Amino acid sequence: MDVTVEVVNEATHEVSVDDGATYADLVAAIGYSPQEVSVLVDDSPVPEDQPVAVETVRVVRLIKGG
Protein backbone atom coordinates (compact mmCIF):
# COMPACT_ATOMS: atom_id res chain seq x y z
CA MET A 1 0.00 0.00 0.00
CA ASP A 2 1.25 3.49 -0.83
CA VAL A 3 0.60 6.08 1.88
CA THR A 4 1.08 9.85 1.87
CA VAL A 5 2.43 10.97 5.24
CA GLU A 6 2.28 14.68 6.01
CA VAL A 7 4.50 15.68 8.92
CA VAL A 8 2.79 18.87 10.10
CA ASN A 9 4.89 22.01 9.50
CA GLU A 10 7.67 19.94 7.96
CA ALA A 11 7.64 17.59 4.96
CA THR A 12 5.39 15.21 3.09
CA HIS A 13 6.56 11.66 2.41
CA GLU A 14 5.32 8.96 0.05
CA VAL A 15 5.77 5.61 1.79
CA SER A 16 5.11 2.05 0.64
CA VAL A 17 4.13 -0.35 3.42
CA ASP A 18 3.28 -4.05 3.39
CA ASP A 19 -0.25 -5.28 3.94
CA GLY A 20 -0.78 -5.59 7.68
CA ALA A 21 1.73 -2.85 8.52
CA THR A 22 0.86 -0.78 11.58
CA TYR A 23 1.00 2.96 12.11
CA ALA A 24 4.18 2.35 14.17
CA ASP A 25 5.73 0.74 11.07
CA LEU A 26 4.67 3.75 9.01
CA VAL A 27 6.21 6.18 11.52
CA ALA A 28 9.45 4.18 11.56
CA ALA A 29 9.59 4.33 7.75
CA ILE A 30 9.88 8.13 7.92
CA GLY A 31 12.49 8.06 10.68
CA TYR A 32 10.49 8.71 13.85
CA SER A 33 9.53 6.60 16.86
CA PRO A 34 5.93 6.29 18.07
CA GLN A 35 6.96 7.97 21.34
CA GLU A 36 7.77 11.26 19.60
CA VAL A 37 4.77 11.60 17.27
CA SER A 38 1.03 11.20 17.08
CA VAL A 39 -0.59 9.83 13.92
CA LEU A 40 -3.86 11.44 12.85
CA VAL A 41 -6.47 10.00 10.51
CA ASP A 42 -9.27 12.44 9.68
CA ASP A 43 -7.81 14.70 12.43
CA SER A 44 -8.27 12.01 15.11
CA PRO A 45 -5.37 10.13 16.73
CA VAL A 46 -5.03 6.42 15.98
CA PRO A 47 -3.29 3.72 18.07
CA GLU A 48 0.22 2.91 16.88
CA ASP A 49 -0.54 -0.84 16.82
CA GLN A 50 -3.56 -0.45 14.53
CA PRO A 51 -3.09 -1.65 10.92
CA VAL A 52 -2.73 1.09 8.32
CA ALA A 53 -6.11 1.40 6.61
CA VAL A 54 -5.97 4.73 4.75
CA GLU A 55 -3.84 6.30 2.03
CA THR A 56 -3.23 9.67 3.72
CA VAL A 57 -2.22 10.42 7.31
CA ARG A 58 -0.92 13.42 9.24
CA VAL A 59 1.89 13.12 11.77
CA VAL A 60 2.34 15.65 14.57
CA ARG A 61 5.70 15.77 16.31
CA LEU A 62 5.19 15.89 20.07
CA ILE A 63 8.77 16.82 20.95
CA LYS A 64 10.82 19.20 18.91
CA GLY A 65 14.24 20.34 20.12
CA GLY A 66 16.08 23.49 19.30
CA dihedral 14, 1, 55, 50 (to 10 degrees): -110
Q: What is the mean pLDDT of residues 7-21?
A: 95
Q: What is the mean pLDDT of residues 8-23?
A: 95
| CATH class of domain segment(s) 2-61 | alpha beta
The gap from C-alpha 7 to its chain's centroid, in whole angstroms, comes to 8
pTM of structure: 0.88
Distances (CA, A) of 53 to 5, 63, 64: 13, 26, 27
Q: Residue 66: which pLDDT band, with cuts at 50, 70 and 90?
A: low
Q: What is the mean pLDDT of residues 14-21?
A: 95
Q: What's the confidence (pLDDT) of residue 64? A: 62
Q: Do residues 62 and 37 lie in contact, with contact meaning Cβ atoms separated by under 8 Å?
A: yes
Q: Residue 63: which pLDDT band, with cuts at 50, 70 and 90?
A: confident
Report which DSSP code applies to 62: S
Q: Residue 39: which pLDDT band, with cuts at 50, 70 and 90?
A: very high
